[in-house]
């Protein structure tokens, strides 16, 4: 699934007239970069969610013959649901996908690979898929880059919490009083994950608290005590969040370097 529903406010004025997903970068749109990366990894069954200028994305996919993939659209034009809510809304489309991810011969249901449309990286998707354990809830891609918000992992690379170092907030609150030895790593989320389809079965608690609109981080923290989500730290990882107009020139060079 490609999250492409965001408003792209940091990319104004471009996003005053187009969705973030269709912002051009080195001769392609951000959405095309993501679709082609997935396709190169053997993933051709894709769901794209839309909200901001949704018809532009729908028309773009149709005009490009869906880039030779089976692409379905999860339409959020009535309400932007954030990442967790967006995943939940797309459940039926994801469940109806005709083929599974290329998981080296595994056949235990259809795990869900999720990426943000505005994050470029050199991640090796087949290696990420091999890290997925069907007996656990999933793996989240993280790195040691500097940020203000971090996911917290224990010595077994299991997700335990989240913190904002600028405000001192720690979630869950109980973690703040736990022994420091529980947390071994503080890592930055990189906008990609592979999730067990059981994720839909454990959303009730966060939906009851947040409603239909909630983030994946909210979901992860609500289940971290009982379910196993592990860190995946790519080797020689390079990534870029294409979030600001001022970054587009740098992002074009970054994107071009990825394919050389």
pLDDT digits (tens, 9 = 90+) for 22-81: 999 999 999 999 999 999 999 999 999 999 999 999 999 999 999 999 999 999 999 999
Which range among 99-103, 186-190, 205-209, 233-237 shows the weakest confidence by mean pLDDT?
A: 99-103
CATH of the domain at 46: 3.90.550.10
In angstroms, the Cα distances linking 18 to 6, 13, 245 are 11, 9, 14
Q: How far apart are CA 120 and CA 239, in angstroms?
A: 6
Cα-flanking dihedrals φ and ψ of residue 227, to 5°?
A: -110, 150
How many CB atoms within 10 Å of residue 238?
Answer: 13
How many CB atoms within 10 Å of residue 41?
Answer: 18
pTM for the model: 0.92
Locus of tokens 């249901």 = 109
CB-count burial class (<10 Å; 0-12, 13-18, 19+) for 15: buried
Of 256 and 108, which is predicted with more confidence? 256
pLDDT value of residue 106: 46
Confidence of residue 150 (pLDDT cuts 50, 70, 90): very high
Confidence of residue 207 (pLDDT cuts 50, 70, 90): very high
Structural domain of residue 15, as residue ranges?
2-258
Q: And the tokens for 117?
A: 């449309």
Go through the chain and tell me how many residues it has: 260
Confidence of residue 247 (pLDDT cuts 50, 70, 90): confident
CB-count burial class (<10 Å; 0-12, 13-18, 19+) for 112: buried
Q: And the tokens for 50?
A: 């839309």
pLDDT value of residue 200: 96
Confidence of residue 100 (pLDDT cuts 50, 70, 90): low
Residue 102: pLDDT above 60? no
Among the listed residues 155, 149, 154, 188, the one whose alpha carbon sits nearest the alpha carbon of residue 168 = 149
Average pLDDT over residues 154-173: 93
Work out how many domains the chain is built from and give that number: 1
Q: How far apart are CA 232 and CA 132, in angstroms?
A: 9
């Amino acid at each position: 699934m490609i999250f492409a529903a965001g408003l792209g406010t940091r990319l104004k004025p471009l996003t005053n007239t187009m969705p973030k997903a269709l912002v051009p970068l080195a001769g392609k749109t951000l959405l095309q970069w993501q679709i082609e990366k997935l396709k190169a990894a053997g993933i051709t069954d894709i769901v794209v969610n839309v909200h901001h200028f949704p018809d532009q994305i729908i028309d773009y996919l149709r005009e490009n013959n869906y880039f030779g993939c089976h692409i379905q659209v999860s339409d959020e034009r009535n309400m932007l649901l954030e990442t967790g809510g967006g995943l939940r809304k797309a459940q039926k489309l994801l469940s109806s996908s005709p083929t599974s991810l290329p998981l080296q011969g595994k056949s235990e249901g259809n795990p869900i690979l999720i990426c943000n449309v505005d994050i470029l990286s050199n991640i090796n998707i087949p290696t990420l898929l091999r890290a997925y354990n069907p007996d656990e809830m999933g793996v989240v891609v993280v790195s040691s880059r500097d940020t203000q918000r971090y996911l917290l992992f224990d010595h077994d690379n299991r997700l335990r919490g989240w913190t904002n170092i600028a405000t001192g907030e720690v979630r869950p609150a109980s973690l703040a009083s736990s022994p420091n030895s529980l947390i071994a790593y503080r890592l930055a989320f990189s906008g990609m994950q592979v999730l067990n389809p059981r994720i839909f079965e454990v959303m009730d608690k966060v939906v009851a608290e947040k409603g239909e609109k909630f983030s994946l981080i909210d979901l992860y923290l609500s289940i971290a005590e009982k379910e196993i989500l592990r860190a995946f730290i790519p080797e020689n990882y390079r990534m870029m969040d294409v979030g600001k107009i001022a970054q587009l020139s740098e992002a074009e060079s970054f994107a071009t370097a990825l394919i050389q």
